[in-house]
Amino acid sequence: MCCFYQDHKIKLTHFETSKGECVDELAVDCCLWGDLSKPLVVLMGGISASRWALDSTGCGEGWWRDLVKQEAVLNYGDYCYLTFDYFSFPERIENPPAITTEDQAKILKSIQGQLNLPQFHVVIGASYGGMVSLAFAALFPDSLKQLICIAAADRNSVKTQAIRYIQRQIIRLGSSNRNSDEAQKHLALARSLAVIGYRGDVEFEQRFQSSHQGEALASVASYLDYQGEKFTRRFSTSRYLQLSESIDQHQVDVSTIKVPTRLIAFSSDQLVPLSFVKDLQNKLQTNCQLSVIDSLYGHDGFLLEAEQLNQIFSDIFNSTNYEQNHDTIKPNHRRACGY
């Protein structure tokens, strides 16, 4: 089943980035899904996510179709949804200005204003979208009623910044010789390196381990090559570089966030360690709960742990008691090879 949607293109003039750069005009595509008279929920995913979060007749399966569907808490009947494409400068622009999560939050606020949308019932952000959601709640505390931040924190670890630096160096190395095929290969390699960090250690061991010499390496290499090549079919090197740098520049002063907040973390997440999310919880000066999902899937739990996330969403959207300080979900013992 597909949800009715309206596709919009928002144009902003004289946009000033958080780094002080003035952009004459920028355009962003967004979608409104469902009945606009219903409470409005914002959905944001990782850097590779698009506005097509839900199933649609035009673009097929949505990237969050396992969580936002008719039979889930986030269904087509009770809520309306807003999604948008993160902004990055076109490929033709050399040395584009830096774009930050704060800039993406300002763009979301502009979408809200231009489309004359009401206060958001809840803003849900996962991974990069979680960073943007924190920036939005900090900058525009009166523009939303609740915040759900999944697999994200107010800052990034030095280790993950180092890994992304290597990814960008790989991409730039491939782009330096002006050979488009080589550039694509290097982009695929950088993405493959990123995928290693998206998943948990235990999943890799269970999914690819073998008693035969060399078989484990062959299996995981095939998987990584496939993920890298698939990514290059829908992502440009310029966009990847810009959004990667945007992650590394992410830092939010969360002291101005005043809405009820639910943080969701994954025990095996290597990109956003649980300690960083707990530290964020301690910094927040509002009603905040932390849910921890014990998952095999690491950072990608926000895509693969739909059942557990739906359970948490049920608690958030249906419960009248928002006073607990901590909530830990029971461990999920599914094997990684089972999906």
Mean of pLDDT over the chain:
91
**Which pLDDT value is given to residue 321?**
42
Q: From the candidates 56, 88, 127, 133, give the one annotated as an active-site residue.
A: 127
User: Which residues, listed in sequence order, are joined to residue 82 by a DSSP beta bridge?
Assistant: 32, 42
Instruction: Note the pLDDT of residue 181.
Output: 85
Question: Of these residues, 238, 244, 267, 299, which one is catalytic?
Answer: 299
Q: Do residues 166 and 84 lie in contact, with contact meaning Cβ atoms separated by under 8 Å?
A: no
Our answer to whether residue 14 is catalytic in this structure is no
pLDDT at 130: 98
Annotated active-site residue in 269, 291, 295, 315: 269
Q: What is the DSSP letter of 63?
A: T
Residues of the chain with CATH 1.10.1740.110: 158-247
User: Is pLDDT at 323 greater than 50 in this prediction?
Assistant: no
State yes or no: pLDDT of 320 exceeds 90. no
Architecture of domain 5-154+251-338: 3-Layer(aba) Sandwich (3.40)
For tokens 């590779």, the residue is: 48
Q: Is the pLDDT of residue 328 over 60?
A: no
pLDDT of residue 77: 92
Average pLDDT over residues 9-20: 94
d(CA 337, CA 339): 6
pLDDT at residue number 213: 75
* Secondary structure of residue 203 in the 3-state scheme: helix
Alpha-carbon gap, residue 134 to 125, rounded angstroms: 8
How does pLDDT run across 190-224, given as a tens digit for each residue? 999 999 999 988 988 888 888 787 888 999 999 99
pLDDT cut 70: percent of the chain above it: 94
User: Which residues in the chain belong to E strands, given as ranges?
Assistant: 5-16, 22-33, 40-44, 80-84, 122-126, 147-150, 261-266, 288-293, 326-328
Which residues is 12 bridged to in the sheet? Answer: 26
Q: What is the pLDDT of residue 327?
A: 42
Q: What's residue 57's pLDDT? A: 82
Cβ neighbours, 10 Å, residue 108: 29
pLDDT tens digits along 15-67: 999 999 999 999 999 999 999 999 999 999 999 999 999 998 878 899 999 99
Tell me how far apart the alpha carbons of residues 290 and 315 are, in angstroms, rounded to a whole number.
12
pLDDT band per the 50, 70, 90 thresholds, residue 1: low
What are the tokens at 240? 């990847």
Residues 6 or more apart from 266 whose CB is under 8 A from it?
151, 200, 274, 292, 293, 295, 297, 298, 299, 301, 302, 305
Q: Is the pLDDT of residue 337 over 90?
A: no
Instruction: Please state the rounded mean pLDDT for residues 305-313.
Output: 96
- Res. 229 pLDDT band, cuts 50 70 90: very high
Fold classified for 158-247: Rna Polymerase Sigma Factor; Chain: A (1.10.1740)
* pTM as predicted: 0.91
Tell me the Ramachandran region of residue 298: left when phi exceeds 0, alpha when psi lies from -120 to 50, beta otherwise: left
Tokens 């249906």 — which residue? 318
Residue 254: both structure tokens together: 């969360």
Q: Return the H-helix or E-strand segment holding 132.
A: helix 128-139
User: Is residue 335 predicted with pLDDT exceeding 70?
Assistant: no
Can you name the residues that pair with 327 across neighbouring β-strands?
291
Give the pLDDT score at 2. Answer: 77
pLDDT in tens, 146-182: 999 999 999 999 999 999 999 999 999 998 877 788 8
